[in-house]
Structure 1
Amino acid sequence: MYELISVIVPVYNVERYLEKCVDSIINQTYSNLEIILVNDGSTDNSGELCDNLAKKDSRIVVYHKENGGVSSARNLGLDKAQGDYIGFVDGDDYIDADMYECLYQNLNRDNADMSMCALYDVYVNTKLEQVTKIENYVVNSEQAIKIALEGTIPLVSPTSKLYKAILFEELRYEEGKTYEDAFIIARLLDKCNIITITNEKKYYYFHRSDSITTKPFSIGMLDVIDAWKYNLSFISQCYPSLINSAYRRLYWAYFYVLDSLMSPNSNFDNNIYNMLTSVLKKNMKFILFNPYFNLKRKFMLLSLYIHPIFYKFAVKKFKNKVN
């Protein structure tokens, strides 16, 4: 009845957070777990800490490898996993004690291939609030891909989810990419017949000041554009009814990179700026009439026609308030 869940934790220089993360997994109410810690060439004491944590619980297995990025760590975990189901927890995050029990029960209740819950965005000195009304949704693969494209629910991240292991038989995360989860998402959801979703928050996503989501622009950020171009190609072939949503997500990626480039602590690159703004200006009509871009974003697009300084001002003013 209680099938084995393999929980894969990629570990890289997270010694300050790892014990809290692993303890939250060890103490799950769903106890039939295989906990796979993949030390991805950490340069701090994370590797030694993994070995010490393994002594606390026989369900923990540790693998040490040369640094190859989070995708290679997740892929090694997938190669080694013995479970009927797969879960991912990042080494600086943590989870509620009943998260996997909740995900497992929902998955079996709805005969689903994937089960997901909502997450808390954890910042330093922020108050965490649960939803006032718990709601559950059951969607098919096409509906789930549409949700991922529109960004209404964080379906793209591999965490806060439980997957049937069979989904990964022929799929692995793109290695050497900055936004590895975006490359795989459409193909992964395509393999699902049913996805069950609850808005109840069970996963704590900790925003570190040195995490990739808070760093200034780097050339690797262009990977997010490549990821959604890749998805656009797949969707145009397999889900043509979603083509407009796929284009919307692609232009969102251009905005995402442009916002980082124009943030106060980034070095301005004129060639990249011209490339990004050329695409956005060429598709201005599509963006202005698309309901999934809010008014602030549309205002920011119009500001590009005035002067880059106006866009830079808008990035600072509307930070985290645009889509």
Structure 2
Amino acid sequence: MNQNLEKQIKLSIIIPFYNAKNTLRRAVDSVLTQGYPNIEILLIDDGSTDGSSDIGEKIANTESKVVCYHLENSGLSIARNFGVKEATGDLIGFLDSDDYFMPNCFNNVMKDYHMNYPDIIAFGLSKGKTLENADLFIPAQKIGCSSEEAIEQMFRSKAVDFYAWNKFFKRELFNHIVFPENKLYEDMVPMYEAFRIANKIDILPFSGIFYYQNNDSIVYQSFNSKQYDNVLQRKILVDQVKKDYPRLINLADARLIDGYLSTGFKITGKDLNKKENQKYYHQSKKEIKSIYPKIRSNPELSVAKKLALFLYLINPKTYFILYKKILKK
């Protein structure tokens, strides 16, 4: 790679962390060992209580490319938004503190950037508890995608999807975008917005990041009212797609149904009879019934998912058992 170009293009990698004493150093090292010279790493401490704050400070004191900020515990979105405001790079990337970049990730990204100058570069991922046993998701290469083409890929490809951390962005995109504060499943709407306003998007066929599948993450937690953000964020997405890209509305509706199915699994578990679970079960049931004719005719939904949704409406306990055995990933 041309060294002059490397010096011109600065990367900002934003790593929010909360109680990540066992993985923070690994995450930072995965950036430093890329060998890219013009880089800054912004560690955003979200009020850690396990000693992670001291680890972050120690790293920042010994690594010239690293700076550590300390916030009160406010959530991932606020930490990310803070990092974006402090970032000075031409390109921004996000990394969760229990994940890490794969070797040659930055080399692949920057090689493409200097050839094509896209606004966003997306790449594939490895997902699991260990790299050796990880599932590999590699997207098909697509260079110079329009917003609509790339958004379709986010819907269709598990290797692209609506994640923030398997993409690099021109920093100016975030002049118009913030992560929604105090929400779970916070990636979906900002990623849609970033792709919508981008002029050109490249999708590269390699795994650039290891995503640690943590059973303590929100995906695996028991139900509480905040978990319903999984549905609410998807409903926002449906409204946006309906307005911007009507051709993709079946894909957006199918993504909403996935939200009802996965959230419904949490609602219908052992705590189904709790007041809060009952409230959201009946709310979701009402919402699903209001769009049921559209669901039945949606070609993007498999027969299995249509049947699962019907079962959720009529027999939630059986739905929970079958979802756990068949649909849950």
TM-score norm. by structure 1 comes to 0.91
Provide the rounded CA distance (Å) in 2 between the counterparts of 1:202 and 1:265.
39
- Equivalence for 2:142: 137
**Alignment of structure 1 residues 31-70 onto 2, 5 Å:** 31-70=37-76
Provide the rounded CA distance (Å) in 1 between the counterparts of 2:20 and 2:171.
27
Q: Tell me which moved more, 305-314 or 198-207.
A: 305-314
Letter in 2 for 1:137: K
Superposition deviation, residue 30 in structure 1: 2.1
Relative distance call for 1:230 and 1:148 in structure 2 (3 A) is same
- Equivalence for 1:301: 309
- Equivalence for 1:212: 218
Residue ranges of structure 1 left out of the alignment (5+ in a row)? none
- Does the alignment pair 1:280 with 2:285? no
Superposition deviation, residue 264 in structure 1: 4.7
Provide the rounded CA distance (Å) in 1 between the counterparts of 2:313 and 2:94.
43
Superposition deviation, residue 306 in structure 1: 4.4
Provide the rounded CA distance (Å) in 2 between the counterparts of 1:122 and 1:79.
31
- Equivalence for 1:311: 319
- Equivalence for 2:85: 79
- Does the alignment pair 1:227 with 2:233? yes
Relative distance call for 1:292 and 1:144 in structure 2 (3 A) is same
Superposition deviation, residue 159 in structure 1: 0.1
Letter in 2 for 1:315: Y
Relative distance call for 1:320 and 1:312 in structure 2 (3 A) is closer
The Cα offsets for residues 95-131 of structure 1, whole Å up to 9 and x where unpaired, read as: 1121122112223323311111111112259613657
Letter in 2 for 1:186: Y
**Alignment of structure 1 residues 190-201 onto 2, 5 Å:** 190-201=196-207
**Alignment of structure 1 residues 54-203 onto 2, 5 Å:** 54-123=60-129, 127-128=133-134, 135-138=140-143, 139-150=145-156, 152-203=158-209
2:139–2:157 Cα contact (<8 Å) kept:
no
Provide the rounded CA distance (Å) in 2 between the counterparts of 1:151 and 1:258.
23
Letter in 1 for 2:262: Y
Provide the rounded CA distance (Å) in 2 between the counterparts of 1:64 and 1:215.
27
Letter in 2 for 1:148: M
Relative distance call for 1:193 and 1:255 in structure 2 (3 A) is same
Relative distance call for 1:12 and 1:266 in structure 2 (3 A) is farther
**Alignment of structure 1 residues 262-277 onto 2, 5 Å:** 262-264=268-270, 268=274, 269-277=277-285
Provide the rounded CA distance (Å) in 1 between the counterparts of 2:286 and 2:199.
39
Relative distance call for 1:134 and 1:253 in structure 2 (3 A) is closer
2:250–2:299 Cα contact (<8 Å) kept:
no
Relative distance call for 1:266 and 1:126 in structure 2 (3 A) is farther
1:30–1:98 Cα contact (<8 Å) kept:
no
- Structure with the higher fraction of residues in helix conformation: 2
Relative distance call for 1:221 and 1:130 in structure 2 (3 A) is closer
The size of the alignment, in residue pairs, is 320
2:44–2:71 Cα contact (<8 Å) kept:
yes
Find the partner of 1:320 among 287, 303, 328: 328
Superposition deviation, residue 62 in structure 1: 0.8
Residue 200 of structure 1 aligns to a residue in which SS?
strand
Superposition deviation, residue 287 in structure 1: 2.5
Aligned sequence identity (%): 29
Relative distance call for 1:225 and 1:94 in structure 2 (3 A) is same
Relative distance call for 1:219 and 1:126 in structure 2 (3 A) is farther
The Cα offsets for residues 290-313 of structure 1, whole Å up to 9 and x where unpaired, read as: 233223322312323542222111
Residue ranges of structure 2 left out of the alignment (5+ in a row)? none
2:237–2:252 Cα contact (<8 Å) kept:
yes
Letter in 2 for 1:222: Y
Letter in 2 for 1:57: E
2:43–2:66 Cα contact (<8 Å) kept:
yes
The Cα offsets for residues 171-220 of structure 1, whole Å up to 9 and x where unpaired, read as: 11111111211121221111111111123112011122211222121211
Letter in 2 for 1:270: Q
1:100–1:162 Cα contact (<8 Å) kept:
no
